[in-house]
Structure 1
């Protein structure tokens, strides 16, 4: 039995290993708001084809894709997060214009990567959530509210 093959309807969280502790804080907050979450740490089983499982989790089951960035992710030249983001951009382009699905999340005052979303837009064109500074708690709550709407709308 595979842990990762669950029904559709989760928030997929993409991050780099250096940010695992901060990512766990996001997971805890979203779970407290009854939002199903998918991360590699939680959903991959020993022996599973992790690349295939991650692809399925993004392409078939994600109601939202949280792209988590920090100075740590910005400093890395290579990361599987880049592959996840390319898959997310591909999925984002298949959604109708104006549908919120890809949500940039910053853990510190870093620059968002320059991914082309099509139609002259980049990742920086999307409203981001900043989970640092004095508004971090309010922004976490706001993120939970937005994701709850996705989950309710899909059910």
Structure 2
């Protein structure tokens, strides 16, 4: 690691790690630190005070030490463990775990002043409500969104009711992978579905009396989901069965707690698991 004292600190923002473990974000605005603070001491301006500092000195030819000390804090050299320049540019945004970003997800990036960080809000597909993610650090030009993704497994016979449920989930800020929205012409659809199952934190499996006896790709998809569950941490929630009517869940799901669509509080429970 480059000696922090050899870093050009002029007109730059930094993340400073102190030897006691504390982290600071800000800049070093003074050219003559030691003349003001003494030997082997630097003057640090935290990002929270930066705007007030420059307003206070605006138009002034001379500034007193007392005025400087209202904003700039002395930090001894021997208390600094390291410092790295804060990143400013974003080259890409991804979901944690390199999950596919759902089609139609709208993101807004807000610069609120903290060096090396941005604040991000998002809208789910077809939704006008904006959800707050909070401050996120820029790392190697990338911002990673700490959002969970739920794969949606259903049969075509239940598509209409499933779409209504997904709209309610989206209204609560839940990200879902729904094949009708995500599969594009020319996609190798089977492999794309398998990749989404593998990378999603949860899989919502919808069952109804109309679909339980159905054969074909639906059952193949279910088998793949059950196989993926074996690779998840013991006790982790992965498969979430939802019964759309009074049907009984398949034998393979008998050890899992399921939700019954329409029962009191069922949607709130589902949202809590998925966020």
Q: Would you tell me which structure has more helix in proportion to its own residues? A: 1
Matched, 1:72 2:199: no
Question: After the TM superposition, which residues 107-122 of structure 1 pair with which residues of structure 2 at under 5 Å, given as runs?
Answer: 107-115=244-252
- Larger RCO (CA within 8 A; separation ≥ 6): 1
Local SS of the residue matching 2:205: strand
How many residues are matched? Answer: 132
Task: For 2:148 and 2:191, locate their aligned partners in 1 and report how far apart those are by CA, in whole Å.
Answer: 18
Q: Would you tell me which structure has more strand in proportion to its own residues? A: 2
Matched, 1:6 2:87: no
The two structures have a TM-score, normalised by structure 2, of: 0.46
Gaps of at least 5 residues in structure 2 are 1-98, 102-146
Question: After the TM superposition, which residues 1-150 of structure 1 pair with which residues of structure 2 at under 5 Å, given as runs?
Answer: 6-7=100-101, 9-59=148-198, 61-76=199-214, 78-115=215-252, 123-132=253-262, 134-135=263-264, 138-148=265-275
Gaps of at least 5 residues in structure 1 are 116-122, 149-155
Question: Which ranges of 4 or more aligned residues in structure 1 deviate by more than 4 Å?
Answer: none
* Partner of residue 107, structure 2: none
| 8 Å Cα contact 1:16/1:79 also seen in 2 | no
Task: For 2:248 and 2:188, locate their aligned partners in 1 and report how far apart those are by CA, in whole Å.
Answer: 32
